[in-house]
Amino acid sequence: TLKNLHSGSILLPGMSPLAQKYAGHRHGVFNDRIGDARSLLLGEVATPLGRMEMYLKGGGRTPYALRGDGYLGLRSAVKEYLVSHALYGIGIPTSLPLSICNHKRKIFRDQLEKSATVIRLSPSHARVGHFEWLATRGNAAAMKALIAHLGGCYGEGGEMSVEQFFKHSVQRAAHLAAAWQVWGFVAGTLNTDDISALGVTLDPGAGAFLESCQALLTEDCDAVDSVYAFSSQSESIRFGLEVLGRALRLLLHEEKINAILESFYDQRKKAMLCGMRSRLGLMMSREEDSVLINQWLSILHRKGADYNSSFRYLMEWKNDESSDHHLADKLGLERNDRVLAEWLNAYRKRLENECFTYHERYRFMAGVNPITILREADICDVSAAVEAGDFIPLAR
């Protein structure tokens, strides 16, 4: 029965699937003819993480499929599964695939491939685009009902005010944008219908983790002028919040909306500093930390160093000349690189403010920075195995 449910063949008693309607700004242009093109909301389920919406993705055309067939390629399903679980493993809020079911049906994307369905969970799949759609219809009552529902997803007891809701949305969005930056995650397309009202990564399969430090990397082949590039993600999220704020004018004064919006960049900066301090093995907060962090990122960018591995290289640094040389080698720099030497001197002084021994710092950084991060080569290898009928690499 579960297999048939996950394949989209049957429904459980009480399920009444629906495709959700919303609007969105796509590449900055408003579009009110969109909705769930290949996904269906099956209902809510109780999980150890709380109540979750259960979505079936890839089951075929919906009323909003437009010219699409509504199906999902097996390779895309595998990528979404792997990226989602990688994000979840490092603590970034994300929708979470529960299962992948491959089908005999063949579909054509850039090549002929098997299709698949994915069951994924999220506290809510509510998007900025839902509010845009309701605002265009002037439907204040439905917007209030949606906010009341999302209040439960936020864990708020009782009724949540519109002002509280927007504050929560801005805070969570700021923390999500910061986490993507800290971990080098490129979310891909960030149209307003891709941006969660709950601060969740809604479509992880569109993204990837940075490998080399190319600040303008984008995973979306259709992106125009790097609008969705790594360095532009916070601006895209901020724009989404502006659009959400405009929609909420049905219920909240513009002055309050603008005041809440003003806090976005400050909240994102604080969250990013906190995350980067941890990755650098720093527990205490100092005013000069932002300079130290920016200089470190500049060093990594200069030679296109491996972003996430570089923190592991720094973790192994032992505050001696031999370690200086070893780190320079790992980062692809000359051993007498002046900029790196100056940065390491500043890092040494900064560590004097901490209460760490080398081994304690090592253990702390090892607990924060994973041994490996999901790479495109890993995704290709697992996809090839799954296409050949071997699901063991996916289960690992």
DSSP string over 292-357? HHHHHHHHHHHTT-BHHHHHHHHHT--SSHHHHHHHHHHTT--TT-HHHHHHHHHHHHHHTTS---
Is the predicted pLDDT of residue 97 greater than 70, yes or no? yes
Q: φ and ψ at 201, to 5 degrees? A: -75, 105
Structure-model confidence comparison of residues 219 and 176, the more confident one: 176
Residue-level pLDDT at 28: 83
Cβ neighbors of 395 (< 8 A, separation 6 or more) are none
Residue-level pLDDT at 179: 97
Structure-model confidence comparison of residues 276 and 111, the more confident one: 276
Q: How many residues does the chain have?
A: 396
CA–CA distance, 35 with 39 (Å, rounded to integer): 9
Of all residues in the chain, the percent with pLDDT exceeding 70 is 94
pLDDT tens profile 216-238: 344 443 443 444 467 789 999 99
H or E element in which residue 41 lies: strand 39-47
Mean pLDDT for all residues in the chain: 90
CA dihedral 122→263→183→215, nearest 10 degrees, is 120
Is the predicted pLDDT of residue 86 greater than 90, yes or no? yes
Is the predicted pLDDT of residue 131 greater than 90, yes or no? yes
Q: Is residue 287 packed enough to be buried (19+ CB in 10 Å), middle (13-18) or exposed (0-12)?
A: exposed
Q: Which of 32, 36, 110, 193 is catalytic?
A: 193
CA–CA distance, 45 with 42 (Å, rounded to integer): 9
SS3 content of the chain, % helix, strand, coil (to 5): 50, 15, 35
CA distances in angstroms from 30 to 25, 34, 197, 202, listed in the order given: 4, 10, 18, 20
CA–CA distance, 239 with 232 (Å, rounded to integer): 11
pLDDT tier for residue 153 given thresholds of 50, 70 and 90: confident
Tokens, residue 55: 């979505």
Identify the weakest region by mean pLDDT among 1-5, 87-91, 291-295, 309-313. 1-5
Residue-level pLDDT at 109: 87
Task: State the residue for tokens 């490996």.
Answer: 372
193 is catalytic: yes
Is the predicted pLDDT of residue 352 greater than 50, yes or no? yes
- Of 33, 93, 102, the C-alpha closest to 68 is 33
- Cα-atom radius of gyration of the chain, to the nearest Å? 23
